[in-house]
Structure 1
């Protein structure tokens, strides 16, 4: 007996929709270390974990000091840091060039996965 054409077409259409949905998924920030809005001792590295594998050649981050104790009008200051992938293709690692001084920091990130659509965001934390 031959399968009805409608059933085969419906199955193919459903498979195409599921495949296209996966292809157009965008990376989302799942967690960070330190956590967003956390108060921590100076971290040696900052880790951002995403929901998708990252295209490291198109992804990146910058570390900015946004305030410093005793300086009321501290302008945001970019901090030298190395940005790299890790053994986990969903994780971006930001390593400051020097120990972070007490103050408030922001990490501005850009994540690109296999769909090549960039997603931007940031986290903030305070070093005590």
Structure 2
């Protein structure tokens, strides 16, 4: 058996595996602003960058205020916010419809890329 055909077959097999792995990659949260655990002034928007292009119609988030100073028994509250993609298809933006008051917030996100498998997660931050 000649080395060239064996090498060519090995190269084709390796390339097929790489392409297959990329086709089944799930989006991962790469970074967010504010970052997980940050204490910040009230942000006008929360941005999340993912490792894959998102399918906007299946991806989204909600913003929840999980505690309010002086109101320990208050249950988590949904915060009115619009969710959209930025200019980059790997970015999701959450824009509160009113300024955020001091307290602890949680962004509950759902990201779907071309593999159509939803991935979920949270980002927690505090507003001073």
Question: Is TM-score (shorter-chain normalized) higher than 0.5?
Answer: yes
Look up the match of 1:23. 23
Deviation at 1:10, TM superposition (A): 1.4
Number of residues of Structure 1 aligned to a counterpart in Structure 2: 127
Kindly report which structure 2 residues correspond to 1:61-72, keeping only aligned pairs within 5 A, or say none: 61-72=61-72
Look up the match of 2:56. 56
Q: Which aligned runs of 4 or more in structure 1 are off by greater than 6 angstroms?
A: none
Aligned-residue RMSD, C-alpha = 1.3
Instruction: Give the unaligned 5+ runs of structure 1.
Output: none
Cα distance in structure 2, aligned partners of 1:43 and 1:3: 61
Cα distance in structure 2, aligned partners of 1:34 and 1:90: 17
SS of equivalent residue, structure 2 residue 58 = coil
TM-score normalised by the chain length of structure 2: 0.94
Matched, 1:79 2:79: yes
Instruction: Give the unaligned 5+ runs of structure 2.
Output: none
Cα distance in structure 1, aligned partners of 2:95 and 2:45: 4
Look up the match of 2:115. 115
Look up the match of 1:96. 96
Write out per-residue CA displacement over residues 17-70 of structure 1, whole angstroms, 9 at most, x where no aligned residue.
Answer: 010011111111111111111111111000001111111111000000000000
Cα distance in structure 1, aligned partners of 2:119 and 2:18: 22
Cα distance in structure 1, aligned partners of 2:10 and 2:59: 38
SS of equivalent residue, structure 2 residue 47 = strand
SS of equivalent residue, structure 2 residue 30 = strand
SS of equivalent residue, structure 2 residue 63 = strand
Deviation at 1:3, TM superposition (A): 6.9
Cα distance in structure 2, aligned partners of 1:104 and 1:74: 12
Cα distance in structure 1, aligned partners of 2:12 and 2:56: 33
